[in-house]
Amino acid sequence: MTTEDRQLKLGAFIMATGHHIAAWRHPDSDADAGHSIDHYRGLAETAERGKFDLVFVADSPAGWDGDKDAETRSRVSHSAHFEPVTLWSALSQVTERIGFVATASTTYEDPYLLARKFASLDHISKGRAAWNVVTTGADVSKNFSIAGHPAHANRYERAEEVVDLVLDLWDSYEDDALIRDKASGIFLDPDKVHKVNHHGKFFDVAGPLNVARSPQGRPVVVQAGASEPGRELAARTAEVIFTANQTLEDAQEFYSDIKGRLAKFGRRPEQLLIMPGIFAVLGGTEKEAQENYEFIQSLVHPTIAWSILKQYYVGVDLSGYSLDDKAPPLPTNTELNKSRLKLVSDLAARGLSLRELYLSLATARGHRTVVGTPEQVADAIGEWFHGGAADGFNIMPPVLPTGLTDFVDQVVPVLQRRGWFRTEYEGATLRENLGLARPVNRFVERAAAQSQRSA
C-alpha cells in the first residue's frame, strides 16, 4: 500500500458524559449517560454515520474511585457504568458496520470465560468485535478474592499467557468444523475441533471452547500498554494499539519502535495499526474554540484538581504546595500504569505549575489536546498521519453527545474532502474496514508447518 493509498482509521473513544473530568457538569452533557442505553445508542449511530471504524469504552473490573475520600467521590461521575460486552451486544443490533471494542483484564478475568464472551460478541455482531487487552494498573484485588494486586512484571507475564491461550481457544474450531448435514445426521467433524491442552504457569485449560470460530476468524486484538513489556506484547499479538502521545516526536518514536519490532515475530507493518488518542475542542473560530476550552476547564472543582494530582503523586505529601507552585518530580517506585506515569512525568518536567499540570490531565489524562477550528483539527490529524506517527486516531470528545456529533459533522467532511478518510465502508466486518486480513486458524497453521517439516 502506497502512502497515497493510506486511509485514516478513526475510533470513537467514549466516556459516558465525555472525556473531560468535569464533562458531566457541562450544559451539553447528559448527566445520567452512564446508565442510559439510549445515550449510547445515539453515540454508536452517530459514529457509524461518520463512517468511523469502531467505538470503544474504557473499563475497569471494579469501581474507579474506591480509594478516594468522600468529598472527591461525591464530585466524580465515573463510579458506575455499563459492562462493555453486554453494552456492545445490545448496540450491535441497531448498527450494521461500526466495530465494537471492549476492555477485559488479563489480571482479573478467567481466559476461558473471556474467550467465550468475546467469541459470542463476534457472532452476535456478525464480525465486529474486538478485545482491548489490559493488565489493569489499579489495585482492585479486594473485589476478586486474591492476595493483593500483582506486580507490573507479573501482570505482563500473566498477560502473555492469557492472550496466547485465548487465541488458541478462539481457534479450537476450524471454519468448517460444523457440518450440520440433516440428511446424513452429521453435525460436527470431530477432527476439526481441537483441544488446547494448555498447561502454563498460571492456567491449566483443556478446551475446546464451546463457541464456534467467529465470523472474523477471531475478534480483533487491541492493546494499549506503552511500557517495555507492553510494547513487546503488542508487537507479538496486537492488531491495533491505542496510545497516548503529547508531541509529534514522541509519537514518531513510538510508531517507529513498534513497527520495527514486528519482523522478529514474522509480522508486517500493515498488520498492526497505531491509533493515538486526540482530545479535540472545536469552535467556528480560534477564539471560539479557546473560549469553549476555557469554559470546560473552569468547571473543575478544586477538590478534583488535587485529586487528579494525587493520583500520580502517590506517597508524596502535597499539602505544602499551592497550585501555582512548580510541579515537583513524580515518584518512580510505583506499580501503577508505567506508560501513563512516564507521560505525566514528561509533562511535569516541562516546568509546568501544578495548576497547568492538572489542567493538562483534566482534559484527557495526558492524551494530545487540540483546540481550534475543524480545519485546524484536520491539519493536526494530517500532520501525524502523514508524518510517520499514526495510522489513525481514537477521537476523545470533551463532552457527549455534542462533542462526537460536532466532530462527525464538522471535521469528518474536511478529512473526506482531503481524500484521507472513507466516504463509505469497505466491508461488513471490523477486520475488513480496518484492512486487516482474516487470520489463519492456529491449529491448521501448526499442522501445515509440522507436515512441511516432516516432508
Q: Tell me the percentage of the chain whose pLDDT exceeds 70.
A: 95
Structure confidence by residue, pLDDT tens digits, 187-197 = 999 999 999 99
State the Cα–Cα distance between residues 328 and 90, nearest whole angstrom. 46
**Could you tell me the CA-to-CA distances from 69 to 65, 115, 310, 337 in Å, in that order?**
9, 36, 12, 21
pLDDT at 385: 98
pLDDT bracket for residue 337 (50, 70, 90): low
Q: What are 234's three cell numbers?
A: 503488542
Distance of CA 368 to the CA centre of its chain: 15
- Bridge partner list, 130: 101, 220
DSSP, res 14: E
Quote the pTM value: 0.91
CA proximity to 321, closest of 360, 366, 352: 352
Condensed to tens digits (0 to 9), the pLDDT of residues 414-446 reads 999 999 999 999 999 999 999 999 999 999 999
Tell me the β-bridge partners of 274.
Answer: 241
pLDDT 10s digits, 108-134: 999 999 999 999 999 999 999 999 999
- The 10s digit of each residue's pLDDT in 213-265 is 999 999 999 998 788 998 999 999 999 999 999 899 999 999 999 999 999 99
Under a CB-based contact definition with an 8 Å cutoff, are residues 430 and 221 in contact? Answer: no
User: From CA 253, how far away is CA 231, in angstroms rounded?
Assistant: 12
- What string of DSSP letters covers 201-251? SS-EE----SSPPBTTBSPEEEE---SHHHHHHHHHH-SEEEE--SSHHHH
Query: Is 66's pLDDT higher than 70?
Result: no
CA proximity to 26, closest of 65, 71, 77: 77
C-alpha 221 chain-centroid distance: 10
Return the pLDDT at 103. Answer: 95
* d(C-alpha 91, C-alpha 54), whole Å: 12
Write the DSSP symbol of residue 326: B
Cα angle at 11 between 345 and 216, to 5 degrees? 120
Nearest to 29 by CA among 103, 121, 21, 113: 21
For residues 85 and 145, what is the distance between their CA atoms, to the nearest angstrom? 23
Question: How many CB atoms neighbour CB 152 within 10 A?
Answer: 19
Q: Which of 162, 86, 164, 163 is nearest to 125 (CA)?
A: 86
Three-class SS of residue 411?
helix
- How many Å apart are CA 429 and CA 426, to the nearest integer? 9
More confident site: 68 or 321? 321
pLDDT at 334 over 90: no
In this predicted structure, what is the pLDDT of residue 1?
35
Q: What is the mean pLDDT of the chain?
A: 91
**For range 281-291, the mean pLDDT:** 98
